[in-house]
A = this chain, B = another copy of it.
Amino acid sequence: MQKIGFIGTGVMGRPMAANLLRRGFPVGIVGRHPEREAALVELGVEVAKTAGELAAGCDVVILMLPDTQTVEQVLFDDGGVASGARAGTIVIDMSTISPTKTMEFASRLEGAGCAMLDAPVSGGEKGAIEGTLGIMVGGPQKTFEKCCGILEAMGRTITYTGPSGCGQKTKLVNQLVGATNLLAAVEGLRLARAAGLDAETTLRAVSSGAAASWMLVNLGPKILEKDFAPGFSLRLQYKDVSLLSEWIAGLGGEYPAAGLIESIYRQAVEAGLSEQGNQGLINLWEQ
């Protein structure tokens, strides 16, 4: 089995690494936060001192990091992944970051004989824990085929989307559609309340037909129960919407829904709602 280095042991990364261990993959991490890594150490991970040292001893390095800049640092800074990787080492970046930068990183790694996949996920903490993430994969198809077993340990719907960057691009399309559907669900519930309708009855009626969406069906009930705990935080939702806007600005063309959600989710973050779940968007209007 391929030996895996897993970098990024946050809310998503920890259960993903644990699922790899459970499927029998040897996994190493970079020791930085002993407390939050204790459970993984118990499951048998090895702990390296730097990303470079970790990469030197692995076949595949997985990144699950918060943003483009952090991915760039972990890959290319002194003591980073690129400093330790050998020809043939595969890098799988499962973070959601800029598609343009992804292609640049892949090309730099290729110069060192390393292939890179971009493989951002959807499904949040719940999907990470249950191993049911959706994974959108870009990069060389042969590299993808070598990594299917690894991806299947963490996800259920694994889609090969095309060359480097396509995974990130597909993820941003996903975020455009999902974040707009969430705005629609929130606005529908606000309107129902403002009109004096019974919100629960309205939610049931609207969820049963052509207006149904995952966001309405899954987050609508949380909104009615005033459960704003984050499955996926507004901070991360806005980060993705910002990446989307930046990418669209580079492509050109008129994308009115993307323009609207950039403005709305920015207002939500500015209003101090960052650490609520994305269903907390409704608190931009109702407190």
Contacts and interface: CB of A to CB of B under 8 A. Distances in A.
A174 B260 contact: no
Contact of A173 (B170, B178, B188, B254): B188
Highest count of chain B CB atoms <10 Å: which of A188, A190, A201: A188
The count of identical subunits is 2
Nearest to A178: B211
A184 B201 CA distance: 25
A176 B170 contact: no
> How many residues of A sit at the interface, in one of the four size bands?
35 or more
20 contacts: A122-B210, A136-B205, A161-B198, A162-B196, A173-B206, A175-B211, A176-B191, A177-B187, A180-B181, A180-B183, A180-B184, A183-B256, A184-B184, A187-B256, A191-B248, A195-B247, A209-B214, A213-B213, A254-B285, A257-B260
Interface of A: 99, 122-124, 134, 136, 157, 159-162, 166, 169-170, 172-178, 180-181, 183-185, 187-188, 190-192, 194-198, 201-202, 204-206, 208-216, 218, 232, 247-248, 251, 253-258, 260, 263-264, 285
